Amino acid sequence: MIVVGSVNVDLVIRGPRLPGPGETVTGGVFERHQGGKGGNQAVAAARLGSPTVLVGAVGDDEFGREARAALAAEGIDVSELATASAEPTGVALILVADDGENSISVASGANARLNAESVKESLGRLGSLHGDVILVSREIPPHAIRQALRLARAEGAVTVLNPAPAGGIDLEELALVDVLTPNRGELAAAALTVGASRPEPEVQARRLTGPGGVRQAIVVTLGAEGALFVPTGDAPAASVPVHSVRAVDTTGAGDAFSGALAALLASDRSLEDAVRGAVVAAGLSTTVPGAREGMPTLADLEASMRTADQG
């Protein structure tokens, strides 16, 4: 499978609670982790045994070299991870509260240098995309996102879009997507493009599927409530509960979900099975501090699913 997305270094402060506007909260602890939605999603997929290529960009700096080495150490193919000499590696400033909730601000840096032409060249060097799964997130420029989705669709790949952040998304982009993986807020933002103002996630999702919209399904991540699976057509929606875990840090849980979903689809799982596995993977990812540190291996995932089935 192929991931097209961002690579960042995460600068994290863990404190007793998130500050309000204009407020300073003391007593935090500082950490540095590897991150970026594209990088995180590629790690989530690779740990589940899926051969994974990452298309993205880092800067020609210490952060960029560390990021590239960390991804390669996970077994990810970084041959299409470009080095943008004129830009720094992307950085995310992350605040994490004791209850696991977080707040994130991102400086895109080299991620903003990805463009339609560079994505086209990278995907072209990877050969035929037919039957592959391509996962795209939105921390990169819109023209790069659409190029990746357009080329994947034209060559018969399955397209998965994680619409984070959701600002600027429109029906032209959604029409190139087979599976959409928003959280509640991202779904609401996307639904506004078709005038869907009702608050119910299923109603919003239904407005975005079918002719001219998302082709196969929208899977809404709901945090501790699991996920809502909304297929196209007349098939009923289904709630997928999360397995009980002790959440320490929810940073990267959405990335763990999207990466796991794409990896399981690439291994020929049904969409329903892939959603169920992705919910478990996302839950496991919250049990360890850091965006990537808790992302499960395939053995971890299968063991957790067996335990839940037996319970």
pLDDT digits (tens, 9 = 90+) for 17-63: 999 999 999 999 999 999 999 999 999 999 999 999 999 999 999 99
Q: What is the mean pLDDT of residues 114-127?
A: 96
Q: What pTM does this model have?
A: 0.93
Does a cis peptide bond (omega within 30 degrees of 0) precede residue 231?
no
**Other residues' Cβ atoms within 10 Å of the Cβ of residue 205:** 27
Length of the chain equals: 311
CA gyration radius, the chain:
18
Q: CATH number, domain at 59?
A: 3.40.1190.20
Interior CA angle at 15 toward 14 and 19, to 5°?
115
Closest CA to 97 of 13, 35, 155: 13
Q: Report the SS3 class of residue 48.
A: coil
Q: Which pLDDT tens digit goes with each residue over 247-269?
A: 888 888 999 999 999 999 999 99
- pLDDT at position 281 is 96
**Other residues' Cβ atoms within 10 Å of the Cβ of residue 139:** 24
Residue 310 has pLDDT above 70, yes or no: no
| Whether 305 contacts 280, CB under 8 Å | yes
Interior CA angle at 145 toward 87 and 119, to 5°?
65
> Going by C-beta distance under 8 Å and a sequence separation of 6 or more, which residues neighbour residue 41?
3, 5, 135, 137, 162, 255, 258, 259, 262
What mean pLDDT, rounded, does the chain reach?
Answer: 93
DSSP label of 73: H
Question: Domain range spanning residue 153?
Answer: 2-310
Domain count of the chain? 1
Beta bridge partners of 219: 229
Q: Report the SS3 class of residue 4.
A: strand
> Going by C-beta distance under 8 Å and a sequence separation of 6 or more, which residues neighbour residue 44?
255, 256, 257, 258, 259, 260, 263, 281, 285, 292, 295
Residue 122 has pLDDT above 60, yes or no: yes
Name the band, by pLDDT with cuts 50, 70 and 90, for residue 244.
confident
Q: What is the mean pLDDT of residues 194-209?
A: 87
Q: Which pLDDT tens digit goes with each residue over 223-235?
A: 889 999 999 988 9
What are the catalytic residues?
A: 255
Name the band, by pLDDT with cuts 50, 70 and 90, for residue 309.
low
Closest CA to 181 of 147, 138, 210: 138
DSSP label of 7: -
Q: How far apart are CA 33 and CA 290, in angstroms?
A: 6
Beta bridge partners of 104: 94
